[in-house]
Amino acid sequence: MRSKAVAAGLAELVLGACCPGCGAPGPGTCAECRRQLNGTPPFIVGNLAAGLPPVLAAGPYADRLRRVLLAAKERGGLGLIPLLGGRLAAALAALALESGRAGPLVLVPVPSTPAQVAARGVDLTGALAQVAARRLRAAGLTVSARRGLAQVRRPQDQAGLDRAQRLVNLAGAFRPIGNRVRGQVMVVDDIVTTGATLVEAVRACRAGGGEVLGAAVVAATLRTVGPGTAG
């Protein structure tokens, strides 16, 4: 019994005990979760802060996608980056179709905070952008992913702030780095809630000379598809 428990614990350390999307036993995301996540068509996100260019999401922030994203963000699920980066690529492809522009495209991730990078062991948004750029290049587009924005100051925690407060909190938080945001830019992030972060990222990209075609995210919170308050 005891050795079995030890073996299970070791397996969990090595492989992860169960699918992060549904809890099914086995290493990594199960076939059913991958099928469902990859079978969700990207959509245009509504109910965001005013003045944003089109924002495309690969799926709603709920159920399997929410659990997989949380696992990637909070439990060091680096193995989930290929799957989530593939979903980001789907949203970006839809945005490219929506914009009618052929590129060359520049993917600019919303900058992660040093604390986020330290906690996750990776710049998640930057890593997702790199994976997405590879997928889009494989599909024939001319795409590069560049860390084009830096954080000027650290905004206060967004939790508990409504949309107007978030916009004020984030205004001027990012700046373009050198010439990295020139050309046809698509801003990328993992999750959109109110759009306040994207408003600031788009502003900073434009300040750097970029022509921002829109933004793409892995998931959009449910408040974006209906009436909502802070989120």
Looking only at the bridges linking them, the beta strands covering 149-151 and 105-109 are unpaired
| Token digits of residue 224 | 């974006």
3-state class (DSSP) for residue 93: helix
Q: Shortest distance, CB of residue 81 to Zn ion, whole angstroms?
A: 17
SS3 162: coil
80 counts as binding Zn ion under rule CB under 5 A = no
Minimum CB–partner distance for residue 43 and Zn ion (Å) = 22
Q: Pick the binder of Zn ion from 17, 18, 22, 141 (CB under 5 A).
A: 22
State which residue, 22 or 207, has the beta carbon closest to Zn ion: 22
Asked if 69 interacts with Zn ion (CB under 5 A), we say no
Among 16, 33, 80, 148, binds Zn ion (CB under 5 A): 33
Nearer to Zn ion, 80 or 124 (CB): 80
Tell me the closest approach of the beta carbon of residue 145 to Zn ion, in angstroms.
28
Which C-beta is closer to Zn ion: that of 21 or that of 42? Answer: 21
Report, in Å, the least distance between residue 76 CB and Zn ion: 18
**Shortest CA distance to 61 belongs to which of 194, 171, 175?**
194
Listed residue (58, 144, 125, 118) closest to 93, CA to CA: 58
Check binding of 21 to Zn ion (CB under 5 A).
yes
Ordered DSSP codes for 13-46: HHH-SB-TTT--BSSSS-HHHHHHHHTSPPEE--
Which stretches of the chain bind Zn ion, using CB under 5 A?
A: 19, 21-22, 24, 30, 33
